[in-house]
Amino acid sequence: MPGEEGKVDWYALSKELHRFYGGKIETIPKVPVRRVKDFAIWYTPGVAEPSRIIARNPDESFELTSRWNTIAVVSDGTRVLGLGSIGPEGAYPVMEGKALIFKFLGGVDAVPLVHRARDPEKFLELLENVEPSFGGINLEDIESPKCFYLLEEARKRLEIPVWHDDQQGTAAATLAGLINAVKLVGKDLRKARIVLIGAGAANVALYRLLKAYGVDVGNVAVLDSRGVLHPDREDIDKLMVRNPWKYQIAVETKGAGLRPGAGPGEALVGADIVVAASKPGPGVIKKEWVAKMAKGAIVFAEANPVPEIWPWEAKEAGAAIVATGRSDLPNQVNNSLVFPGVFRGVLDVRARGITDEMAIAAAEEIARYAEEKGLREDYIIPTMEEWDLYPRVAAAVAAKAVEQGLARRTTTYREELERAREIIARVRAKYEKLWESGLIPKPPVDYERG
């Protein structure tokens, strides 16, 4: 079956290498230290002068310290990958892996910050308390609907960019894929009939981006496990209290013309697009449902490790374009295409926040990059190996931050493109030198066998 990983036991290999290396990231100096007297510059007594300057104007911390390029990857461990609520210690390897990707693809220094503050207000208080140490916050692996409240409130309370990758990252990557998919089938995304299966972090954020992009929300049906979100659904009053984000969708979309509680089979009749971000399949989306979609149907089945419907099954049912969340299948919808460049851009302009418009700018740049390479049914979105994408995303986001008045430092698209290219290239060059010199030890197993 396509996608089988052969004889490699990725779990065992990962465990062995994590134990061998003792984690994935470290902190090393970036300034010259050639003699003991150099510490008089970097520490006492010389450091007193930068401290005095920052005390008078805290924004100088973005110029005189590493804060300008440092973010926190923050999680309470309540919804980790496909593992569920495994606690902060269990979440740490994932946050550390995220930090590795931030550095390698975006040149961003990221610090894993896992904690036990499960209460939303205590969580927010923690973010407010550590804000002076960071240039941005990446929220990660937090249970729904708490994640929606945390993102909304943190964006209001903090004067640095706050991003929830399970929401904005996945939504922006999905939007990028949809922008190009509709081009191949000759449809208008803003007028398309769209069904979102699953009303968790990714699809609630996608709905918000689609609305901001100009999509007619009256054509968007959003389904949770009880059917389409509809203002006349029997649990609507409970939703208003327990999940106001679902409630808002129900009120705004009016169920996209479907009856209250209609299921996916009914919702997909005549639909142009379905985006599923629900539970692993196969069989969550049935072939007979796809067969009833409009001609030129677009199917995004993003659950991992097994998509809601296998791509070949969707194709057999008549789908024109299919995307999944898997790296071993065509058209991987991958939030790693988004967050490294987004943070590179916002950090370089010392942004005060990240807006939906900035996420859309990232999605449009990703879509434009793939279109320039040449769109095909099996290539509607770039892959992580296309390194030159990330500086372009950074430039698009930085320019939008300046346009929206959220940047402490102004720049142009072209200026940021060159700056981001230089920063990311320097990180990769440093890594290559460390690897080639043996300062990063060679692993005790055949690392290339997979």
- Our CA angle for 428, 433, 434, nearest 5°, is 95
Contacts of 128 (CB under 8 A, 6+ apart): 157, 158
The secondary element (H helix, E strand) that includes residue 15 is helix 10-21
Q: Are 337 and 176 in contact (CB under 8 A)?
A: yes
Q: What is the CA radius of gyration of the chain?
A: 23
Q: At what angle do helices 339-348 and 389-403 cross, to 10 degrees?
A: 50
The 10 Å Cβ neighbour count of residue 347 is: 29
Rounded to the nearest 10 degrees, the angle between the axes of helix 356-373 and helix 339-348 is 120
Which of 302-332 are b and which e, b meaning 16 or more Cβ less than 10 Å from the residue's Cβ?
bbeebbbbbbebbbebbbbbbbbbbeebbbb
Instruction: Let me know: does 287 contact 311? Beta carbons within 8 Å.
Output: no
Question: Do residues 89 and 116 make contact, with C-beta atoms less than 8 angstroms apart?
Answer: no
**Catalytic residue from among 98, 103, 187, 400:** 98
Q: How far apart are CA 293 and CA 310, in angstroms?
A: 16
DSSP state of 137: E
Is 213 labeled as catalytic in the residue annotation?
Answer: no
Question: Is residue 43 among the annotated active site residues?
Answer: yes
Sheet of 194-197, strands arranged across? 227-228, 220-224, 194-197, 273-276, 298-301, 321-324
Which of 43, 122, 238, 431 does the annotation list as catalytic? 43
d(CA 211, CA 234): 25
The angle at the Cα of 362, spanning 309 to 164, to the nearest 5 degrees, equals 70
Residues serving a catalytic function are 43, 98
